[in-house]
Each structure stands twice: as C-alpha cells, then as structure tokens.
Structure 1
Amino acid sequence: MTTTRFAPSPTGYIHVGNLRTALMNYLIARKSGGTFILRIDDTDPERSKEEYVDAIKQDLEWLGLHWDKVERQSDRLDRYAEAADNLREMGRFYEAFETPTELDLKRKKQLNMGKPPVYDRAALNLSEAEKEALRAERGSGVWRFKLDHERIDWTDGVLGDISIDAASVSDPVLIRGDGQVLYTLASVVDDTEMGVTDVVRGSDHVTNTATQIQIIEALGGTCPRFAHHSLLTGPQGESLSKRLGTLALRDLREQGVQPMALLSLMARLGSSDPVELRSDMAELIDGFDITRFGAAPTKFDEQDLFPLTAKHLQSLPLADVSDAVSGAGVPAELAEPFWAMARENITTLADLKGWWSLCRDGAEPLIADEDQEFIAEAMALLPEGPFDGESWGTWTKAVKEATGRKGKGLFMPLRKALTGMERGPEMAALLPLLQVIRARG
C-alpha cells in the first residue's frame, strides 16, 4: 500500500511552497487508496512552537487535506538515538570538531585549488586523546555520516534517472554538537519505520536524497520512490525565497482566496497539463499524475488565484455561502435574489458587503449634464413597486417610448443614475434589490 507524508517544521506558517509538497503527497496517497501522514518535524526545541503546529493543522483542514495519522518527531528521539548507535557500531558515524570558521577556510582553500568544497574527513585521523582534548576545549562535536564514495543512482519520479558521485558531497552532519538530531537522520528513521513508500519534495533536496539513500541502506531499510518537484519563482522568474513569508496560506485565505482555487492551481502548476478549476477533491485526485510535471523552475503569481476564486464562487449555490451573505448584512428574505445578482460580480466573498451597501444605501448618482432632463423624465416614469425581474424591462420600454432613446444611450445613463457605476450586474436582477427604490412601493 502507498504511504506518503508531509513533514513541516513548526517554526512558522506554511506557505505555497510547502503546500505544493503537501498536496502532491496527499494526492498520490489518495489516488492509490493509501495512507497520508502528517509528521511534525519538531526536533528543534528552540524554534518549534505549538502555535505553529496548530496553525499547520488549521491550514490543511481549511484546504481539505485530511491526514490519516499524526506523528511528532519529538516523541521519537529514542528511535534516532538507537539508529545513531547502530551507525557508530558499523563504523559509519564519526565525531568532528571544526568550528564554522575553520570549515569556511577549508572550503575556500579547496575552491582556490579547483577542488569541490567537501569536508576533508580530517576528524577521522584524530586519536582518542585528541578528541578528548577537543571536547574539553570546545564541547561535544557534530556527528557525521561516512559516505561510501561511489555513485548513488535512482530513478526520480520527476527528474528521471539521477546519478550523483558521493565523493562530490560532504559527509552529512546528522547530529549537532548540542545533541539535536537533524532532519536528514530523523527523516530516514521515520520513513523506514513508518513504511513510507513515496517521497515527493522540492528539487533543493536532491543532494539530501543521495545521502539519505546510503543512510537508509546502512540501516537496512527499503528506499522509497523519490520525486523532486521544481521550485517556485515569482511571475518574472525572480526568487520567491524572500517572499514566501508573505505567501502564507492564512494570508491568502485572509485575502479571500478559496481553497478549491488554490488547490486547482497548485495541482497543475509546473505540469504539462493546463490549469483548470476543479469542482471537488475527487476531480483533483483523479486528474493528478506526478510524471506530468517538469524540472524547470515554475512561475507562480498569486494574482492567478483570484480569477479562479471568482469562477469557483460563481458555481456555488446560496447554501454554500449563506454565512458570508448574512454576514454582509443581507436580510434572509433577500438572500437568494441577492446572491443570484452578486455571484457574477464578485472576486472574493468580501466584495458582497459593497454590493449590499449599494442595495441598502444607494449610491451617488452619476448624471452627465446632457442627461439631466432625460433622467428626470425617466424617474417620473418609474412605476410603483414592489419590483421584480420584469420591472427593469417594463420601465425601460416606457422610457424608450417617451424619450426616443435606445441602446446604450438609454441604458447607460439609467444604470449610472441608479448605481453610480458604468458596469455591474444585470439591472433586471439589481433593481428589485435597491432598497431606496423599493421604498417607493
């Protein structure tokens, strides 16, 4: 059975980049009838916050990405310690003591010599006495995994066949000097013990994957299928890294973006398939294929979410938006005709308040000097209410016969006089809702 996971760190709010990873793993699990795990990567006690754990769950629930179980890495520290002991026993784990400054100097020296800037394994040559002296001077060192210097190969679900020379990669640090277990080790132990079969993540993890494959094999695990999706850029190809904080899911939600609009975009963005608004999760699941995605950086423009949101809202019945309609102040008896009028003329649900304000309070008329007499004559012909869907046609027919005006010269001045706008909903639907006009009845 397919098992996937989404493993966010609770050090901030999740953003569109995180969502891409979460959604792909979710869709793969659901399409195969498998299991989707929410795994909280909270091994950093200083930066991890419970409020962010709650926020991650809230954001996923808002989107309808329901997990089958939750795991927390902070509950599994004993499993990581056992794995570390196993690696030590097999000679694949060693302690190193270089300071960041010393490592930086080594890298610069290697680059100047035209060599790849990888860790030189100097720590392997330290005697026990030298290690004890360094511990006394600097405290505990970091623990590095000793890579076998051979090629690491796998077939990636997005990138195709990958081959990385392990000699071109530094032995990865798996445990910090303060004892904190890092992602590379924790993820391997979790994926192995939780039976994760498929891992989808960003292409910035390709090198991590190479080292993790060796760690998995060293610990006797089975490697999952890996797929590395492209990274998002801004609409002009610019880096999104500095803006991701402003593209948090809760910020998009606050701006009125609808879940299905966001999911429809992210489920296709970067693939060879066109972005199409889907009506429900089942359609998203059915239409998802990880092999359709490309490796090139993928342009993301949050403005693309708003036409999709508008289109989604147009498809909804009143029952799905009743809270927003009543929240805008619309009386229950007018909710149905109001939504029928407004749905084609909003981008987000927040726009409902403006339309109800127009209906309730009216608007400052826009009347050109040359239309003053025409509007006065037309208003005198306005029949008494109550108004219905036929009232606009009846009225404009009478005005046409009385004034000789027709077409745009007839309808536009009347619209501007009643709404203060040149564009908007069908006047036949809007007229019965204009409270100031209704009061004439």
Structure 2
Amino acid sequence: MSAILRFAPSPTGRLHIGNLRTALFNWLFARREGGLFVLRFDDTDCERSKREFADLIERDLAWLGITPHRVARQSERIALYDAAAEQLKTAGLLYPCFETPDELDRRRKRLAARGLPPVYGREALKLSADERAGLEAEGRRPHWRFLLPNFTDDPFAPTRTDLSFDDLVRGETTIDLASLSDPVLIREDGSYLYTLPSVVDDAEMGVTHVIRGDDHVTNTAVQAALFQALRVPMPRFGHHNLLTTIGGEGLSKRSGALSLETLREDGFEPMAVASLAVLVGMAGAIEPMADLAALETRLDLSAVSASASKFDPAELDRLNREIVHALPSAAVAERLARLGIPDGEAEAFWLAVRANCDKVVDAKGWAEIVYGAVMVPAPADAEEAVFRQAALRLFPAGAIGSETFRAWTSAIKAETGAKGKALFLPLRRAITGLDHGPELGPLLPLIGRERLETRLQQRPENQT
C-alpha cells in the first residue's frame, strides 16, 4: 500500500517556521515513499477558524513548492464524526460530564494539595439518570469524555496500562494510560475537539504515517485507544522535536515575526526557509539545499535531536545569502523586470551585483546606483579632485566592454602613480558614491558613458 501522509493545521492564524517543519517532514517522507500528501484543515472550532487563514496556509505551502494531492476541511465532515461518536456512546465509551471549568480547576488544585496527580476521577460516571436530568434542567450542557481502557472491571480503580508504539523518530515509546485523564472529545456546545475527528479522518483517508511535534506524544496514546475502540487500523506515528526562538520560547501563531507570510514579504528565498526548517536539530551541516528533491535526500528521522532546537535568524540570513549568490539570472528574471532592469541587460546586471545581495530585493539598491542619478560625494581633498579630473580625461574612447575598466585603470595608474586602494577607492566613490560594492569592471557597460562622465564631472557646489 502506498504511503499516505497528512498535515492538519488549524486555520486560526499564520503558519510559522515550526509548523512548516511538520509540513515538510510529512511532504518529504511522502515524496520519498512515492505516496500521497493530504492537507487537512482542522477547522471544527468555527469561532476561531477563518477561511482567510486557510487560504493563506495554502499560499504559504505553494510558495515552498508543497502541493497537496488532496485538500479536506473537517468542518465539511461532521457527519462522519457524529457517526463515530454514536458508536462510542453505544459502546459505553463516551459519557456526559457536567462539571464547569471552575469546578474542574478546584478539583485539580485539591488533588495537587494532597500530592496526587491531577487526573479526572470519572465522577460523572456516578451520576444517575435523574441527577443528569436535574443538571440539564438547571441549564447545564454536558461535555463528553472518552473512557480510557485503563482498568479491568472497575473504572474507578484504574491500573497501570502501558500503551506502546514504535515511534518513527523516538523509537519504542510507552505511555501509561492510567496517568491520563479521560479526554474531552465533544465540547458543551456540541463541537468536536481535535482528537476524535483526527482519528476518524486518518482511518477514512487511509493515512499510513503521521509525523508531528513531540508535544503530541501523549495525544498519540489517547488516539491509539480510540483507533482500537473504533476498530480501525492505526497509522504509524513519529514525533519530531520542536523549534523555539533563540531565547528558548515556543513559536506561536500570534507572533508574526517568524510567520511564513512575513518571511516571504521580507524577501527570503523559499529554499532558505525550507532548508533551515528541516535541517536545524538534525545531524549534519545546516546548508542551503537547491530544491525539495535535494532536501528529501537529507531527511533522516532517526537523526533528529531529542531536545528542542533553536531557530536562529542569523542562520536564515546566512542560508539566504548563499542561495542568492548562486542564483542564475533566469531564476530572478521576473523580479528584476519588476525592478525596471532592461531586458537586454538583466543577466549582466544580476551577475555583476548578486554577490553583494543578501536578498534578491537588494538588487533594487544597486539598480539605483547603476541607472539612477547618483550624487557622488565631494573629493576628500585636492589630490582626489585632481585624480577625478585625470580619470575623466583618461576614460577610453569607443564602446565600453569587458576590457574597458582594465585599460582605464592602467592609464590612471601610469599617470598618477596611484595603485591598490589609492586607485580603486576614489574611483569607486566617484562612480557609485559608495566606499564598497560590486566589482566596477562589469558595472561600467551598464552605467554607460553618459552617466559615468556626469558623475566624474560633479563639483561640490552642485551637491545638496
């Protein structure tokens, strides 16, 4: 059977690089196995889920090159969850509870004061039909809990019940179901929490592998019990480590700084973001991958660190810089056109400036230097003023080509005796107005004779 994997984000905010890590692990694993990738929106929380966030998630993934084979929305599959809930109720495994959040909180605090784990004591199972009816008459609406299989005969006497599974990342993993509270599957308003819909969808869609953050390990034990209760096959699970900020805080949808939308708008290359999202916390060097196919070869779930990994923006800057410096002109042609670079000069321009660009958008600044009306600084002293006059007079006649700069600087050196920094720095300042930048030789044909002569002829009194 072909592998089927899924990424199931809640459309309640923007995707961040930590979410992308999960999406890429599943996407790359599916690619490697020749399988399918499902994008499944966990949007049963109608109050918080927004269609605009779902649309943004699809755009973010497409920017990275992730194209799902199927898109599903849990809000359109409620009938399946209703049927599963009825199956569990009929089996006596889904029971109504009437405690308020405040009552549950006080109960947990009493247990903690006695040094006991804050596990729900199944008090609702002791309610008679008349007591339940009385609570409902008071206006209370029940939430519904799943009865975990962690007892022999008496649900009020749970015993250690180890549930083990072979984790794709962590290896053999065991959770004691007696250490957990019966999970709430249905809220008071009748809406579903993530747990039951996830199990139902995984079964109905034939999901074979689930890779997600290690904050879901306990959830997996609960879901394993649900797979058994519904008598459907369970996928194989893997739990990767989480990403944190450089300060150690968890990433959040509410913090837009690391959202994919923000990174895209800030001019980062998709493969810089993807490379860091996958390779951070994995054995081997963090290096820029050319494409998702190359990144797929680096995916090794067994090499993922057991501890959280820190997202360092400096690493992203480095990866992006390395990718940009290697980009061919064809890869940036559309972006250069939007900057107004003439079609016939786009390749020569990009090859001249890319080594001085951390992001492709940085080419805009160099386009202004090449094609704009640059106001160069005044000569630092009389010697530099004489130097500029000589440079203007010695500029070679005829078409400007690849050898023009060499011939020009040789002539200036011969007349003035300037060499090294004393030759190239004042020349750069006179041509670009800057003390640093791309090699001047490839820039000369782009700047052109008219602009060059205008800059060399500028006088201090013309400047503002």
TM-score norm. by structure 2 comes to 0.91
1:321 maps to amino acid: V
Comparing 157-166 with 173-182, which one deviates more in the overlay?
157-166
**Distance of 2:58 and 2:250 partners within structure 1:** 27
**Distance of 1:115 and 1:435 partners within structure 2:** 81
Q: Indicate whether 1:405 and 2:418 are aligned.
A: yes
Give the direction of change, closer, same or farther, for the CA distance of 1:244–1:226 in structure 2 (3 Å limit). farther
Q: Indicate whether 1:192 and 2:193 are aligned.
A: no
**Counterpart position of 2:119:** 118
Aligned-pair identity (%) = 48
Report if the CA contact (8 A) 2:208-2:236 is conserved.
yes
**Counterpart position of 2:174:** 163
Q: Indicate whether 1:151 and 2:152 are aligned.
A: no
Matched position secondary structure for 1:9: coil
Deviations 1:146-166 (A, max 9, x none): 112211211222222222211
* Cα distance, 1:77 vs structure 2: 0.7
Structure 1 segment 71-220 matched on structure 2, within 5 A:
71-149=72-150, 150-220=161-231
Q: Indicate whether 1:425 and 2:438 are aligned.
A: yes
**Counterpart position of 1:395:** 408
1:116 maps to amino acid: P
Q: Give the counterpart of 2:380 among 344, 363, 368.
A: 368
**Distance of 1:76 and 1:102 partners within structure 2:** 33
**Distance of 1:35 and 1:331 partners within structure 2:** 43
**Distance of 2:16 and 2:120 partners within structure 1:** 33
Which consecutive unaligned segments of at least 5 residues does structure 1 have? none
Which consecutive unaligned segments of at least 5 residues does structure 2 have? 151-160, 455-464
**Counterpart position of 1:258:** 269
* Cα distance, 1:138 vs structure 2: 3.3
**Counterpart position of 1:4:** 5
Report if the CA contact (8 A) 2:108-2:118 is conserved.
yes
**Distance of 1:385 and 1:118 partners within structure 2:** 87
* Cα distance, 1:109 vs structure 2: 0.4
**Distance of 2:96 and 2:49 partners within structure 1:** 26
* Cα distance, 1:61 vs structure 2: 0.9
* Cα distance, 1:384 vs structure 2: 3.4
Matched position secondary structure for 2:279: coil
Q: Give the counterpart of 1:304 among 301, 310, 315.
A: 315
Report if the CA contact (8 A) 1:362-1:436 is conserved.
no
Comparing 371-380 with 394-403, which one deviates more in the overlay?
371-380
**Distance of 1:407 and 1:46 partners within structure 2:** 67
**Counterpart position of 1:333:** 344
Structure 1 segment 260-339 matched on structure 2, within 5 A:
260-339=271-350
**Distance of 1:202 and 1:278 partners within structure 2:** 23
**Counterpart position of 2:50:** 49
1:373 maps to amino acid: V
**Distance of 1:297 and 1:75 partners within structure 2:** 35
Matched position secondary structure for 1:143: strand
* Cα distance, 1:440 vs structure 2: 4.9
1:310 maps to amino acid: R
**Counterpart position of 2:353:** 342
**Counterpart position of 2:157:** none
**Distance of 2:448 and 2:180 partners within structure 1:** 72
* Cα distance, 1:74 vs structure 2: 1.3
Matched position secondary structure for 1:383: coil
* Cα distance, 1:47 vs structure 2: 1.6
* Cα distance, 1:361 vs structure 2: 2.0
* Cα distance, 1:385 vs structure 2: 4.8
Report if the CA contact (8 A) 1:9-1:40 is conserved.
yes
**Counterpart position of 1:39:** 40
* Cα distance, 1:242 vs structure 2: 7.6
2:422 maps to amino acid: G
Give the direction of change, closer, same or farther, for the CA distance of 1:242–1:82 in structure 2 (3 Å limit). closer
* Cα distance, 1:347 vs structure 2: 1.3
Deviations 1:312-356 (A, max 9, x none): 223222222111111111112221211111221111121111111
**Distance of 2:175 and 2:252 partners within structure 1:** 26
2:286 maps to amino acid: V
Comparing 196-205 with 285-294, which one deviates more in the overlay?
285-294
Give the direction of change, closer, same or farther, for the CA distance of 1:436–1:117 in structure 2 (3 Å limit). farther
